[in-house]
Amino acid sequence: MKTTLSVDSRKRVTLPNVAGVKTGDDLEIEILEDGRMMLTPVVRIPRHQMWAWTERVDRLLAEAALDRSPKVRVTDPGALEEMMKSLDCSI
């Protein structure tokens, strides 16, 4: 979609609703060599959640998605104890 925006006296523009931008959203502006301006939505990630966005976690998730080994889901605690005993493991 193309549209023409007007700049007001304070150098502000109003983005159309179809842009999906809401009050308080953060945007990054990049001014390209040919003078075009590109706006990109920015999502802020709290510092305590940054570990989830590392290359290591991304790689581990990709590996886990490729792992086709059989999985066991135990919902009964008694069954878990029995399984652990049969495997000669401790919990």
Q: Is the Cβ–Cβ distance between 15 and 21 less than 8 Å?
A: yes
Which residues 6+ apart lie within 8 Å of 57 measured at CB? 51
Q: Determine which helix (DSSP H) or strand (DSSP E) holds 26, and give its type and residue range.
A: strand 26-31
pLDDT in tens, 57-80: 999 999 988 988 877 777 887 887
Q: How confident is the model at residue 24 (pLDDT cuts 50, 70, 90)?
A: very high
Judge whether 67 and 59 are in contact, CB under 8 Å. Answer: no
Phi-psi region of 48 (alpha: psi -120 to 50; beta: other; left: phi over 0): alpha
- Whether this prediction's pTM lies above 0.75 is answered by no
Asked whether the predicted pLDDT for residue 90 surpasses 80, the reply is: no
| Structure letter (DSSP) for residue 39 | E
